Amino acid sequence: MLASELISEIISPLRTSDSGEEALTMMNIYHVKHLPVVNDRELLGMFSEENILTNDLDEPIGSYELSLHKPYCLFSDHLFEVIATMANNGLTVIPIVDKDQNYLGLVTQEDLMRYFSKSFSFNEHGSLLVIETNKSNYSLNEISRIVEEESASILAMFINANKESEKIEITLKINKQDLYRIVSSFQRYDYTIKASFSQDEYTDQLKDRFDSLMSYLNV
């Protein structure tokens, strides 16, 4: 999935002629706290809700000083690069530009979450298993082999590595409901079992957490 495929077809950027009041109204309508400001096709930068509130709301935003730098992603950037850039800059939207730096549109935090909720095998039948091991012992081949030896398959995998720890946490989506034999196999290979969830358990939890996040984003 590339950035160009995630561009919102609804939200327009701010123009330098928009007033601060108009900018805040747009943010409120679309439930975001940031919007790019564009002159023709040139990306000038980003305005935050906080930034706008420190200025005269009746004045055009073109007269404001841009306090935010100009983060963006290229249309050819992968989904993970989009997520990283948005997270590192604490943004609710990220502008997307072409190779000539022309503004193409934006990707919202909410769109990313909705994409994740429908992707990465979340809807596939199976269970979740969370294991932990030392970073030095991590081997994708070994993990796959342990699961496949029990006549199962890994549908998706997520890794959480803490820079301050020598441990690595691995979340596996496996196409089986009963994980007893798989859990036992991982324990024999000295993996720590952090958690396991059946289909019904984690589906309900994911739905509750996703609904809560969407509710938060819409505040």
**CATH no. for 127-213:** 3.30.70.260
Domain ranges of the chain: 3-114, 127-213
**CATH no. for 3-114:** 3.10.580.10
Degrees, nearest 5: CA angle 104-95-47: 125
Q: How far apart are CA 128 and CA 201, in angstroms?
A: 9
Q: Would the pLDDT of 219 be above 50? A: no
- Helical axes 180-188 vs 140-148, angle rounded to 10°: 140
Residues 14-67: pLDDT tens digits?
Answer: 999 999 999 999 999 999 999 999 998 999 999 999 989 999 999 999 998 876
Predicted TM-score (pTM) of the model is: 0.67
CA dihedral of residues 84, 85, 90, 91 (deg, nearest 10): -120
Q: How far apart are CA 76 and CA 88, in angstroms?
A: 19
Degrees, nearest 5: CA angle 120-211-5: 45
Tell me what the mean pLDDT of segment 155-175 comes to.
88
Residues 56-77: pLDDT tens digits?
Answer: 999 999 998 876 578 999 999 9
Strands 93-97 and 73-74: parallel
The sign of the torsion formed by the CA atoms of 173, 176, 182, 184 equals positive
